[in-house]
Amino acid sequence: MAKQSYPSHLAVVCAIWWVVLIIYDLFEDVKKGGALDMQSGIKTIQASAALLLFEMFIALLLLFWNLKSKLASRQNQLIALREHVHFGLHCTMGELTSILKSPIPLKALGNGIPNWLLQSQDYEFAHLIIKFIEITKINDPLIACAMTNCLALLCQYKEYPSSSMNSSSCSDENAQLAPEVSTVGMNNPHGHCSLLDHSLRVAAYALIERNRFIYRGLDTGLSKVPAANQKFEFDPEDPLSILLALVHDIGKIKTFQLNERNEVIRVNGQHGPVGASLLTHLECIQALPIEDRNVLYKAMHHYHAPFQYALKEDGLVDDDRTVACMMLLISADKKASRAERFGKNQEHDHQLLNQLAIELAQNNEAQKKSSSTKFRSGD
């Protein structure tokens, strides 16, 4: 049933009471021995009309009071939004929600991706992402190093599930203690795949989406904020967007509490903000330029709730690159989750992934030959 407005409710109430009082007056005349002639009917209608006018006056007063209350509430909200404290620092995400007591232990830089992942056929997109890392090493060695070490970190927790939705009793961002549940459930948005598998899949879909992604500003699901810089163009070759896709759920390492069967029995905090805080402790992330780090922190903090992204006082976003990377991540995460939930990739996307793997391999060989030629010519 459609939701009716406040004035329509008042009109219905007034009309009902008017009809009831007319019938009451008519029957009162009959009880007193009067006749239902034209003159008595006109008097009854006149009295009822006067009563109706009085009811309408009361209704208008109530409506005016209701509108005034709503306007006052809205005005208070607008005033609150103008307060500086609600904007926080416009160039940062504000205070992080963190439950980290100590940084996650990470192997020394340079240890690289474990051999079992390099040789494994169980992770459909592992070889694709590894090829991308190899190519990225040539032009962006810091980002490639960060991807390598973050992937190695995910490998240390390869038994972690990608979702806590093992049953309807355990929601993803619920900090309440839930009973131990079976891994068999119908509500799992990631098809019961591991955190490592999901991270690799989202990174692979980001590789697809970045070539057809069109940045139009911040889309919160409730409203759209246009690009702050109309001349800004998203760079599909920016490897930071793939790093972001790879590490977007890394906070689940800290927020998921597992039992001995690797089932989620408790979720402590929100994995987006916790993951952003976790990254600040990793040396491979600290080595990145501050602009890249800000993109990672803010996008990870807000990608599950883009409507909470802090705007500048002029109502625009502070950095289009951050928002563009976040929008690309949201798109890739949705497509990957849909594929996991239904147990298959869309045929067209799967063909693109295979073609992309071939292109990455060819580019890798070409860049290796180019580097070798430059080195010999330098001798």
In order along its 379 residues, the chain shows pLDDT tens digits of 444 565 666 677 777 776 776 677 666 666 666 555 556 656 666 666 776 677 778 878 888 888 888 777 766 655 544 433 333 333 344 444 444 444 555 544 446 788 888 888 888 889 889 989 988 998 899 999 999 999 999 998 988 888 877 533 344 444 343 443 333 334 566 667 889 999 999 999 999 889 889 999 998 877 888 888 888 999 999 999 999 999 999 999 988 888 888 888 888 888 999 999 889 888 899 999 999 999 999 999 999 988 888 888 888 888 999 999 999 999 999 988 888 887 655 555 666 666 766 666 666 566 655 655 544 445 4
Residue 17 main-chain phi, psi, to 5 deg: -65, -35
pLDDT, residue 71, reads: 79
Across-strand partners of 264?
Answer: 258
Task: Please give the helix or strand (H or E) that residue 256 lies within, else none.
Answer: strand 256-258
Using the structure block, give the residue that is written with the tokens 């500048």: 312
pLDDT, residue 118, reads: 87
Q: What share of the chain is helix, strand, coil (3-state, %, to 5)?
A: 60, 5, 40
Rounded Cα gap, residues 169 and 167, in angstroms: 5
Tokens of 18: 């008017």
**Contact in structure between 36 and 29 (CB atoms under 8 Å):** yes
Task: Please give the helix or strand (H or E) that residue 225 lies within, else none.
Answer: strand 224-225
DSSP secondary structure letter of residue 161: B
pLDDT, residue 29, reads: 62
Task: Please give the helix or strand (H or E) that residue 267 lies within, else none.
Answer: strand 264-267
pLDDT, residue 162, reads: 85
Rounded Cα gap, residues 194 and 212, in angstroms: 28
Rounded Cα gap, residues 54 and 43, in angstroms: 17
The 3-state DSSP class for residue 263 equals coil
Q: What is the dihedral of CA 49, 51, 57, 60, to 10 degrees?
A: -90
Tokens of 16: 């009902």
